Amino acid sequence: MIYTEQTVKALKLCFVAHKEQTDKTGVPYVFHPFHLAEQMTDELTAAAALLHDVVEDTDYTLEDLEKMGFDSRVMEALALLTHDPEVPYMDYVAAAGRNPIARAVKLADLRHNSDLSRMVGRELTEWDEKRNEKYLTAIAYLEGLDG
């Protein structure tokens, strides 16, 4: 983890925002953003990784986070990482791919979410398999932006 004033503030908010949530296998959800943040290489991507699901999955808004003083580059990435259900999924992924912070976080997010070994004690459903195919397609797209 990269410890700066901004990442510590993001770490604390991430914990508070997700503390009552669990993933599909009952593991505390907060471990997911912590896992992503551990992979990031700078302050901005680490803060964005910690906060990437806060707006989408809690009552916090982008305006709330902006008022808390998060860097404008983190805020821009978070806006791109918050999927509006009205926007087709691959359009959302493409937009995130155009921002280096959002792209780094989204790739880590997709890789973690497509790790089926996380589904310990839970039988995979057809929905899980389709979701995983969607994630693998998005990973291939974002990785293809390198070339």
Q: What is the dihedral of CA 110, 112, 115, 120, to 10 degrees?
A: -140
Dist CA 6 CA 131 (whole Å): 33
- pLDDT at 36 (0 to 100): 98
Say how many Å lie between the first and final Cα of the chain, rounded.
Answer: 29
Residues with a catalytic annotation lie at: 56-57
Burial of 35 (C-beta count, 10 Å sphere; 0-12/13-18/19+):
middle
- pLDDT at 147 (0 to 100): 59
Q: Count CA atoms within 13 Å of residue 102 on its CB side.
A: 19
CA-to-CA dists, residue 18 to 42, 48, 87, 94, 137, angstroms: 23, 15, 25, 27, 28
Q: Which domain holds residue 27?
A: 5-144
How many domains does the structure of the chain reveal? 1
Q: What is the CATH number of the domain that holds 124?
A: 1.10.3210.10
pTM over 0.85: yes
39-62 tens-digit pLDDT = 999 999 999 999 999 999 999 999
How many degrees, rounded to 5, is the angle at CA 46 between CA 41 and CA 50? Answer: 150
